[in-house]
Chains A and B, each alone.
Chain A
Amino acid sequence: SAVISQKPSRDICQRGTSLTIQCQVDSQVTMMFWYRQQPGQSLTLIATANQGSEATYESGFVIDKFPISRPNLTFSTLTVSNMSPEDSSIYLCSVEQGNEQFFGPGTRLTVL
Chain B
Amino acid sequence: GQQLNQSPQSMFIQEGEDVSMNCTSSSIFNTWLWYKQDPGEGPVLLIALYKAGELTSNGRLTAQFGITRKDSFLNISASIPSDVGIYFCAGRRGYKYIFGTGTRLKVLA
Residues of A whose CB lies within 8 Å of any CB of B are 1, 4, 31, 33, 42-45, 48, 58-60, 92, 94, 96, 99-106, 108
Contact = CB atoms under 8 A, between A and B. Distances in A.
Given A42-B100, A99-B48, A99-B50, A106 B1 contact: no
A4 B44 CA distance: 12
Nearest to B89: A42
Interface residues of B, number: 24
Interface of B: 1, 3, 31, 33, 35, 40-45, 48, 50, 88, 90, 92, 95-102
Contact of A42 (B40, B45, B102): B102
B96 A45 contact: yes
Contacts of A100: 33, 45, 48
A31 B101 CA distance: 24
A43 B2 CA distance: 11
Contacts, number: 51
A99 B96 CA distance: 10
Nearest to A106: B42
A104 B42 contact: yes
B99 A103 contact: no
A48 B45 contact: no
A43 B88 contact: yes
Contacts of B48: 99-100
Contacts of B88: 42-43
A75 B42 CA distance: 18
A96 B45 CA distance: 12
A31 to B, nearest CB: 6
B3 A42 contact: yes
B40 A108 contact: yes
B90 A101 contact: yes
A44 B1 CA distance: 7
Contacts of B96: 45, 48
Contacts of B41: 105-106
